[in-house]
Structure 1
């Protein structure tokens, strides 16, 4: 009787991952080092270079804000790199909480664009990262105040636990078509509330946020991955979405509910 051929380790791991349940989304888990501010500091971070990047390369098309990665010039790429280098050289803990929030959201989004540009052309951010990883979210991408940071650190260990605001999910952008839009304006302490409200309105009223087809309600997978940030149960999540919807309200929905997400790159 012939013996089966041995499966090499990398192939076996790939097959195992392909047949295993999806890995759970990161939980909100405070990194206490960052839970500090100086409300007496009236200083502000400078985000003009990030705003210039958005003005030049963000394209509004239907329900999507698309980023024109292929058109980024060498000079503008250097300006983006310099912006990231400049703000990461500062310690945000010495600023007010409002300044910090804008700092972290802008840094997260700028780093995401930088990661795509580093590997462009690429069809999806999910193709980035180390061997057998799904995306770059656990890769070290910046150093701030002597601490190495990943995108997951910024979102799930700083932004979510310190501010406890579900609208954070509408503000950070993952360079994908199903992601809430990259805002056309850089966040500042002064405009944060307006930008968060606008982001929530845009997403909940778009088909990538919620779509009704017959007896089926399709929601963004964000409401599945991070449901606890929006409500204690499915109906509470629908009620939270309804706060911003102009069309048919979702609370009380008794039909089928499914979740979907398109990881295709958010490019024209």
Structure 2
């Protein structure tokens, strides 16, 4: 995969992060619902099983102990994914494909530049992270992480739980799941991820007279309108928050989700 340039962004404050809007890339909207074939994510599952472990409310990745053999396995998996035309598969199969691809690419990016304290330290000149870097080519189309999340997953599926599925290699992010997504387990994993995140302190917690929630709900608040808004969405998965203070603040930890 493409090497990324490490750049110190100490001169820039984290609030400069501007969340991209959901802007459909219509090329990827096509699907073939008559195709019952499954895309194998076994190699990605083996990586997850070997290197992701749960510590407290975080799933952490053991970047520092990844073997050369497993790094090559990850590269081979990404090469295989790049050779697939996802439009020829069902939408359920496509969703799992894009989520796994996003997460595997993110891990690969970290491994290529490891050690690094935060994914926000990666990317081109004056970039806040690598999300706008072209990291893979599919069907001749150069694709970035932002393309996958904000031009494919969010606008096509319009499911706010996608924010709990894609992982940005940061402690403040919803956990990288220990299971690879498949067409069959996606609904189960999305519900598990939503429940886990919202019932964790990094998802929501009460501090004094303030409800402190993840900045995800600030950056992508409009995505949760399908559930009646952010507060209704939070209450759905954590009913105790119905009595939470009306004052809201936002927090996010960009530290690397690394197992030490």
TM-score after normalising by structure 2: 0.92
8 Å Cα contact 2:210/2:245 also seen in 1: no
1:249 counterpart = 2:245: no
1:237 and 2:230 matched: yes
Higher relative contact order (CA 8 A, sep 6+): 2
What residue in structure 2 maps to residue 35 of structure 1? Answer: 29
List gaps (5 residues or longer) in structure 2: 1-8
What does 1:137-156 align with in structure 2 at a 5 Å threshold?
137-156=131-150
In structure 1, the partner of 2:253 is 262
Distance 1:180 1:265 in 2: 13
- Is it true that 1:222 corresponds to 2:216 in the alignment? yes
SS at match of 2:181: coil
Q: Say which SS state the counterpart of residue 51 (structure 1) adopts.
A: helix
In angstroms, what is the RMSD of aligned CA positions? 1.9
Per the TM alignment, residue 236 of structure 1 is displaced from its structure 2 partner at its CA by 2.7
Aligned to 1:95: 89
Q: Does 1:26 align with 2:17?
A: no
Q: Which runs of 5+ in 1 are unaligned?
A: 1-13
TM-score normalised by the chain length of structure 1:
0.89
Structure with greater Cα Rg: 1
Contact (CA 8 Å) 2:122, 2:129: kept in 1 or not?
yes
Distance 1:144 1:126 in 2: 25
What is the correspondence of 1:32-181 to structure 2 with a 5 Å cutoff? 32-181=26-175
Hey, which bits of structure 1, 4+ residues long, moved more than 6 A? none
